[in-house]
Amino acid sequence: MLTDEQLELQALARDFAKAELRPHTAEWDAARALDPEVFTKLAESGFLGMLIPEEHGGLGFDLSTYLIVLEELSWGDAAVALSVAIHNGPVTDLVLKRGTEEQKTQWLPQMAAGDCLGAFALSEPDAGSDASSVATTATRDGDGWRLDGEKRWITNGGRAGLVLVFARTSEDGLSVFLVSPDAEGYHVGAQEKMLGLRASQTVRVSLDGVGVGADALLGELDSGLRYALEALDVGRIGVAAQAVGVGRAAMEHAATYALEREQFGTPIARFGALQAKLADSAQRLAGGRALAHEAAKAWTALTTSGSRRGVRGVTARAAMAKLAASEAASFAADEAIQIYGGYGYMKHYPVERLLRDAKGAEIYEGTNEIMRQIIAAEILRDAGGQNQ
């Protein structure tokens, strides 16, 4: 059950999505670009500082409340929600958990105010699901570091004011660096031409001898892989909320269309086969949402305890939430197209875009094949422990 405060925030986010996002989604998708003004409006509403504590200018939401808002934003526009999620999720989480007081004071107020959007530069041409294969290097340069390498699929990579760059600092270790895109040698490449989430600024980034000071190191040296996996947990829980929002939008469009469209002298909503599609979509989306909030509770309990015990369970729960919600979204969007029939296959109607957007949630922040491996590994570990 949602609290009164959460219900108010849900309504606020839905009103924002309805007024500021939905009227522009088709235009943004066609142009492959978001209007920069939307980030100003997001900041004014506090949506760029949802997980940042009030002492640093944010709203200080717990993760479950954040998911409620993120679902509504994704219901409005998935590309916007993706940018918001990267900024609020893994970037904010790492700066909060691993940053020094000076780093948090420098960056968090700017991020909460929308003066500085965050980006997460982990993936590379040969390092997607396998984060340990990162080839970008950070070499000592006096008291600081020099970064060289290429990053791929970096959301907010050209718009951001702060980029968390993962680079190899030893043969077996990665580290995380706080990098400004204004730094010499930071080059933004072409925007990726994607099937869905087309308005998202997802770009290639080249690092050509980018120099950073000693104070740019985030957390402990050679601990970057562990930090990345921690951040991916909160990122995947956020992906689940995004997916539910997309799937819900598709289902609602289909339900409205079914009430209006008549065939054989009656609204098609009266047909049992069509009702089954809506019922199955609703059931799957509700399951994805429930798993996301269960994972959020586990993540919050782990974070507030300050202990690493139970981290495996959180990782598996995050993976289950992303897996279930993303596949539910794709199912709901696909069924919505079937309900629309020939019209659903046309760009003039919204459901074909929603199917394209939903597919992305099955891939980014770790493919669903990887999610299944993570879940199975947890089951096998538990079974092995019980048999010892």
Catalytic residue among 294, 365, 369, 378: 365
Check residue 141 and report its DSSP letter: E
**Structure confidence at residue 89 (pLDDT):** 95
59, 309, 311, 376 from 305: Cα distances, Å: 21, 9, 11, 26
At 307, the pLDDT band (50, 70, 90 cuts) reads low
> For residue range 309-328, what is the model confidence (pLDDT) as tens digits?
556 689 999 999 999 999 99
β partners of residue 207: 149, 186
Query: Residue 94: its pLDDT value, please?
Result: 96
Q: Does the pLDDT at position 128 exceed 90? A: no
Q: Does residue 30 have a pLDDT over 80?
A: yes
In this structure, are 271 and 157 located in the same domain? no
The pLDDT, as a whole number, for residue 164 is 98
Q: What is the mean pLDDT of the chain?
A: 94
- The answer on pLDDT for 131 being more than 90 is no
Q: Are residues 36 and 53 in the same domain?
A: yes
Q: Answer yes or no: do 230 and 370 share one domain.
A: yes
Domain check: are 362 and 318 in the same one? yes
Helix (H, G, I), strand (E, B) or coil at 318: helix
Same domain, 272 and 351: yes
DSSP, residue by residue, 63-129: HHHHHHHHHHHHHH-HHHHHHHHHIIIIIHHHHHHH--HHHHHHHHHHHHHTSS-EEEE--BTTBSS
Active site residue 365: yes
Q: Cα–Cα distance between 198 and 78 in angstroms, integer?
A: 9
Show the DSSP H helices in the chain as ranges.
Answer: 4-16, 25-31, 37-44, 63-76, 78-86, 92-98, 101-113, 224-260, 272-305, 311-340, 351-360, 368-386
Burial class (CB in 10 A: 0-12, 13-18, 19+), 10: middle
- β-bridge partners, 217: 177
pLDDT at position 289: 98
- pLDDT tens-digit map of 201-218: 999 999 999 999 999 999
Nearest one of 83, 63, 40 to 295, comparing CA atoms: 63
Q: What is the pLDDT of residue 305?
A: 73
Q: 155 and 195 in one domain?
A: yes
Query: Token match 């066609």: residue?
Result: 30
What's 63's domain CATH number? 1.10.540.10
pLDDT band for position 306 (cuts 50, 70, 90): low
Q: How is residue 87 written in tokens? A: 């900024």
Q: Residue 311's pLDDT is what?
A: 61
Q: Which one of 190, 218, 246 terminates a domain? A: 218
Span 164-192, average pLDDT: 95
The pLDDT value recorded for residue 132 is 82
- Quote the tokens at residue 192: 């990726």
The number of domains in the chain is 3
- Which residue would you say has higher pLDDT here, 383 or 174? 174
For residues 136 and 166, what is the distance between their CA atoms, to the nearest angstrom? Answer: 7
Query: Considering 88, 117, 146, which residue would you say is the last residue of a domain?
Result: 117
- Quote the CA–CA distance of 221 and 332 in Å, as a whole number: 44
Q: 338-349 as b/e, with b when 16 or more CB fall inside 10 Å?
A: ebbeeebeeeeb
Average pLDDT over residues 206-234: 96
The CA distance from 179 to 190, in Å, is: 19
User: Residue 127 — very low, low, confident or very high, per pLDDT cuts 50/70/90?
Assistant: confident
345/232 same-domain check: yes
Buried b (16+ CB within 10 A) or exposed e, 168-193: bbeeeebbbbbbebeeeebebeebbe
Q: Considering 117, 151, 175, which residue would you say is the last residue of a domain? A: 117
Residues 155 and 202 in one domain: yes
Would the pLDDT of 382 be above 70?
Answer: yes
Residue 387 has pLDDT above 80, yes or no: no
> How far from the centroid of its chain's Cα atoms is residue 369's Cα?
18
Q: What is the CATH number of the domain that holds 200?
A: 2.40.110.10
Residues 94 and 139 in one domain: no
pLDDT bracket for residue 386 (50, 70, 90): low
Q: Are residues 311 and 365 in the same domain?
A: yes
Nearest to 351 by CA among 368, 334, 327, 364: 334
Residues 210 and 332 in one domain: no
pLDDT value at position 32? 95
Place of tokens 């690092």: 207
- Residue-level pLDDT at 190: 87
Q: How high is the pLDDT of residue 313?
A: 87
Position 92 scores a pLDDT of 96
CATH number at residue 369: 1.20.140.10
Please tell me the predicted confidence (pLDDT) of residue 310. 56
Domain residues for 64? 4-117
Residues 100 and 186 occupy one common structural domain: no
